[in-house]
């Protein structure tokens, strides 16, 4: 499932559920646009490594926890690229 939008979808879900504020998303949008990757703003919620942001891929697993009025939510994002299978497995 390489380049299917897992990180972007997950970051957008976190934002829509109130797990991250609009100001932070706007900051990511500005920074992503400066690198010519404006559409990656939601992926950057989980993709923190410089290499991930520059290459536009998830290299390492990421964990995000947040609360909604009804639920405690934990999200794990994992790499989809073959080169990072070892990183994905360590996240399970």
Which of 17, 16, 18, 35 has its CA nearest to residue 47? 35
pLDDT at position 58 is 87
Determine phi and psi for 55, rounding to 5 degrees.
Answer: -90, -20
pLDDT at position 72 is 96
- What predicted TM-score, i.e. pTM, was given to this entire model? 0.82
**Alpha-carbon gap, residue 75 to 60, rounded angstroms:** 14
pLDDT at position 1 is 62
DSSP helix/strand/coil, 92: coil
For the stretch 13-25, pLDDT in tens is 999 999 999 999 9
Residue 26 predicted with pLDDT over 80? yes
Two tokens, residue 17:
């559920």
For the stretch 39-92, pLDDT in tens is 999 999 999 999 999 998 888 889 999 999 999 999 988 887 676 676 666 655
pLDDT at position 28 is 97
């Amino acid at each position: 499932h390489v380049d299917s939008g897992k990180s972007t979808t997950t970051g957008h879900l976190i934002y829509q559920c109130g797990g991250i504020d609009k100001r932070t998303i706007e900051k990511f949008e500005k920074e992503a646009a400066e690198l010519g990757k404006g559409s990656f703003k939601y992926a950057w919620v989980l993709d923190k490594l410089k290499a991930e942001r520059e290459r536009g891929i998830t290299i390492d697993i990421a964990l995000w926890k947040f609360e909604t009025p009804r639920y405690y939510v934990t999200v794990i994002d994992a790499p989809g690229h073959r080169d990072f299978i070892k990183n994905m497995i360590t996240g399970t």
